[in-house]
A and B are shown apart, each in its own frame.
Chain A
């Protein structure tokens, strides 16, 4: 089964509003990363938060991590039409080959 699960699966908001996406995971992690994927394109890395960090900012992005609840959230402030994309959380496992395991993604639509 998937390590990470995003919530909601789809989100539609008006331009200028804030968008919040959540990610839950099951096993211990080294770090958690968020990626964006525009229609028909590859994934672009947005931000990485390590297991000993609780919050991180990058421009209009804010990521939180709660390892006790095994959850993370991605906040995009002042959304723009260009933010329309699918957003994936990916967890770097501690065990084994430390591979990156992706969730199912949240499809975000910004309406003008």
Chain B
């Protein structure tokens, strides 16, 4: 079974530029998550989708971050404009949908904002 795919793996941009990350979850997984992991910290949930609807985006900085999950499969996370403090690893995860299920994580996208 293929795992969660993410691209790109690395991205370097200058502040105020825009950037987008892509995630393809495990086939059949209804729930998709985006996490931000700053160096030395644990992952922080940014947004959770159930199919193509948003379940939780309470920690998403909506003035600059946006995410969508068209057709309930792939998802993109966008930052516009980026700030220095956005430098982090952005992890995508998916699960089969029930709240008790474990999550399967992708390799992440490492973003450096200069």
Contact = CB atoms under 8 A, between A and B. Distances in A.
B60 interface: no
Interface string A39-60: 0111111001010000000000
Interface string A81-95: 000000010101000
Contacts of B103: 45, 100
A33 interface: yes
Interface of A: 2, 4, 30-31, 33, 35, 40-45, 48, 50, 88, 90, 92, 96-105
Given A42-B106, A92-B100, A97 B56 contact: yes
Interface residues of B, number: 24
Interface of B: 4, 33, 35, 40-45, 48, 55-56, 91, 93, 99-100, 102-108, 110
A88 B44 CA distance: 12
Nearest to B108: A42
7 contacts: A42-B107, A45-B102, A101-B45, A102-B42, A104-B40, A105-B41, A105-B42
